[in-house]
Chain A
Amino acid sequence: MPLDVQTLLKRFREGDRVALSRVISLVENDHPSSPVILDTLYPFTGKALRVGVTGPPGAGKSTLVDHVAARMRTDSQKVGIVAVDPTSPFSGGALLGDRVRMSSVNLDDGVFIRSMASRGSSGGLAWKTFEVCEVLDAFGVDRIIVETVGVGQGELEIADEAHSTVVVLVPESGDGVQAMKAGLMEIGDIFVINKSDRESADTARRMLDSALELKPVKNGWRPPVLSTVALKGEGVEELHRKIEEHLRLLVTSGSIQHRRMEGVRAKIVEILRNRIIQSAWERNKLGRLIDAEVVSVMAGGSTPYKSAAEILRKTGQ
């Protein structure tokens, strides 16, 4: 398929899934056409509600996502799924296997599943996850489910990007306790003990429940703890109900609108900051001034702080 962005976007607006997929790649790869694409699609965004699903590897996230997506389909909602897995720091490659567990929706043309590698982003999310969600939103999906691996270290970003965050844990291996220590507790709007067909599921659930009692109720929402057996689809109905209940609360309280506004502000600030830095950098030929100062510091004639001050003085800042 030849790359003519306007033709591609026209096909995208007509509901062509091949075009959708190519647009996602252009955005994910930060292709030069990416800003134009996001600008063109912007007026069509703002409708999809995003659900984050995070938790340790093997907890059953993908299996649950498959069921929840299928459940959303029974309400005739269109669903986008973004499944993020880590990029190997050694090879730069990634093995993305979430689709294996998503077989009940993978031939449904109301569902679009995209696997993403984290590509050097540290927090479990890929850099471009948000942009890819925007593209799916513009395509007209009603719900976007974002699956990320979360072990409680720095994947708090998912809570920033998703409207409602589901934390999936398993009964064994003291995951409950780990989660409390590690910060997954902070980000969950809904907690799930999956694999509740196993022993000690009740204990895990009770522990989590009592730990959550200490957490302040936010906007009238007390995070529930649910039990599921994803393999058999048990507990999915209740999970789906809680997700929708939470989303509804966020919509009616104006919280989603408010977050969108803050998001828009942050985006403008980010773009402006980059542009301003870039143009000031080039105008003042900072690259060359820095090179000269590096030589001077290495020769013992200056320090990094003195050099920076010197450059600012020279450029009249």
Chain B
Amino acid sequence: MMTSAKTAAPTISVDGVGRNFTVSGQTLVAIEKIDLDIQQNEFVSIVGTSGCGKSTLLNMIGGLDEPTSGEIRIEGKPVDGPGRDRGFVFQTYSLFEWMTVEKNIRFALEKSSFARAEKDELVAHFIQAVGLSGFEKAYPKQLSGGMKQRVAIARALVYKPSILLMDEPFGALDAQTRGMMQELLLKIWEDHKVTVVFITHDVDEAIFLADRVIVLASRPGRIKKDMRIELDRPRSYEVLTDPKFAAYKREVLTDIREETLKALSAGQG
């Protein structure tokens, strides 16, 4: 990749990162060594078998966990804990149940230096952007799973981070809702221009959304494939029946199948 003029540092730079855990006295190598550069506004999906270290990697990018070796840099600066340049969406809805939709989102702005009026505007804008107008005063309990996750997305974006980290955000949703959420996410991404790192175990979802699909190999986690997705944007569900889509899918599935078989034969399945 030769972006000659203004070769700024990549937005996210994962540099020789490894992560070991100690589990009952034994060292478990969750991630062996990962090198990965993600450019500004790129949409990157990460797929891999369960337990291959996807969440661990994302948590480290988010500053919620630290690498055992190597370094992660955001805009050239080493990550030192969570920061407001990154927003996070988790698989569990992780909303503050005692706050209304509006308050959940507003809570995320508390540490921002925006003026009051600006904050009001941002909250209103994002409620609208995720299609929750009219539900400002609802409590999370009253919302469906998809709606809850929309609140979580709004909460992660409202303070204007440049990076959005998502850990299987639609994993708990039914297929129809999931499809709607994917399209919504793409729209938000196109409108707000953020860099997205999106973890999923759904291959269709990974390809449909991303500019790049990273397949992780398991135990220890490392990059097995880094594949560019050359499908037109903006994308709609029609792309799912595109022959190019099918080719990508076959390739990723083959990789994942290989990894799953390896895990099974190692008695770890």
- Co-complex (A, B): no
Q: Which residues of A does B touch, CB under 8 Å?
A: none
